[in-house]
Amino acid sequence: MKNFLLISTLFFASFSYGQEELTRILFILDASNSMNARWGDQTRIEAAKELLAKTVNDLHDVPNLEIALRVYGHQSPITATFQDCNDTKLEVPFGKDNFHQVKARIKSIYAKGTTPIARSLEAAAGDFPDNTSRNIIILITDGLEACDNDPCVIAKKLHDKGVKVTPFVIGLGMDLSYLEKFKCIGSYSDAETRDAFAKVLQNVISKALLNTTTQINLNDINASPSETNVTMFLYKAGTTELKYTFTHTINKYGNPDTLILDPAFEYDLVVNTTPKVELKGIKIIKNTHNTIVADCPQGYLKARFTNASRPYQIEMRISQEDSSKTLNTQKIGSSDKYIVGTYSVEILTLPRIYVTLDVNQSTTSYIDIKAPGVMKYSTGSGIVGQIFVENYNGTLDWVCNLKDASRSGSWSLQPGQYTIVYRQKKLKSSTYTMERKFRINSNKTTSLKL
């Protein structure tokens, strides 16, 4: 079965920002029989026609822009014994105001023939009136070449003639072995849904018109752009006006993927690592590929019980060294990512455990703690009191308060020596204060009758 993909091919090397010079875009639409296959609630041809017509409509007011439409596979039905490999036709030639004509022709197309991609690309080179403009081809198709010509050979011929070809291939649900067949033409990516295809088409148009691209490098400790999979906000510089939101992505080639940012603005970048990284006053230079570099070296932090016989739901609070602000809370046993540096960790056990440790690049820093035990108490009359832990030097530190007037209760406590100080609430003299020492062992329950 063929799969849906989009190829946009840019001819010639000289580009300029916006539409300061004439730009010509030739749309080539695949109307082969396979485009009648279902794609969600639509057929492929219905989805392609709808998205293409919307794109043409959106381009109507772009200055210094002309468009044209070539279609293949729409004139001769394919049969078991025949396919018309010459079934490709320039339906609407370039013109200054032919947008309505192109949209009308798109609506009247029906899919029925074969897939002569190579012959369509070769013929398309002659559809442009001259070489004085920026000439762009966007090919929308759902499969590979079905005739005897090779698109790779055509691409090489165009290159040998001094024509620069820069295609973008977007495949729907295609495996990499299939996409690799387009490597001879240029870069490629995949789109799994109709909405993803719509965004890709819009992105290709933006690249064609703006010719200004950007990548954001999230550098590790070795200045390599290896960090990724984090949300990024781009604000209009000096304001809270959010212009773009991206989840940082490394493409199939191992590089940060290419973004389209409007060069009319300066930006403030917020990378939502823990803690966040910010860059102010970023300028995007027109007519070139921009690289924004943010130092975001990261490693992992994890606390774990060394001897737990069952799960314990205990959290810890993480802050930067010498700061009281909470950066994050995470459960013991879970792992989370942090910018390389020194952190203060408060583990919410009873009593609290405080640790200072370093997070290093691409490694996990562990905090090992002993599993808690349980203290249960009961008494015949309601009591008031507190629990204290005994330090190595014999001093006592407060741990927690007993529930007022309680007759029973239980606490999860870290292993160690403890003292409970209490009296019956109904007795109105300090002389009735009682003490009871007890020891807590990991995974064990200590029961006290007070």
**DSSP calls for 202-220:** HHHHHHHHH--EEEEEEE-
Q: Is 125 helix (H, G, I), strand (E, B) or coil?
A: coil
Cis status, amide bond into 256, omega within 30 of 0 = no
Q: Does domain 373-449 have CATH number 3.30.300.30?
A: no
* Angstrom distance (rounded) from CA 420 to CA 447: 12
Residues of the chain under the 50 pLDDT cut: 1-2, 4, 7-19, 164-165, 172-173
Looking at residue 22, its pLDDT comes to: 83
DSSP string, 377-439: EEEEEEEEEEEEEEPTTS-EEEEEEPPTTEEEEEEEE-SEEEEEEEEETT---GGG-EEEEEE
| Residue 398: per-residue pLDDT | 98
Residue 186 φ/ψ region, left for φ over 0, alpha for ψ in the -120 to 50 degree band, beta for the rest: left
Rounded to 5 degrees, what are φ and ψ at 122?
A: -65, -45
How many Å apart are CA 347 and CA 227, to the nearest integer? 28
Angle, CA 178 vertex, CA 81 and CA 196 arms, to 5°: 105
Fold of 213-295: Immunoglobulin-like (2.60.40)
Which of 82, 93, 143, 81 has the alpha carbon at shortest distance from 118? Answer: 143
Q: What is the CATH number of domain 298-369?
A: 2.60.40.1120
Contacts of 213 (CB under 8 A, 6+ apart): 207, 258, 259, 260, 289, 290
Domain layout of the chain by residue ranges: 5-210, 213-295, 298-369, 373-449
pLDDT at 173: 46
Domains 213-295 and 298-369 belong to one CATH topology: yes
The pLDDT, as a whole number, for residue 418 is: 98
User: What is the value of pTM for the model shown?
Assistant: 0.66
Is domain 5-210 given the CATH code 3.40.50.410 in the classification? Answer: yes
Contacts of 190 (CB under 8 A, 6+ apart): 170, 171, 172, 173, 174, 179
The model's pLDDT over 263-291, given as tens digits with 9 standing for 90+, comes to 889 999 999 999 999 999 999 987 678 99
Residue 182's pLDDT is what?
57
Tell me the per-residue pLDDT of 408-440, one tens digit each, with 9 for 90 and over: 999 999 999 999 999 999 999 999 999 999 999
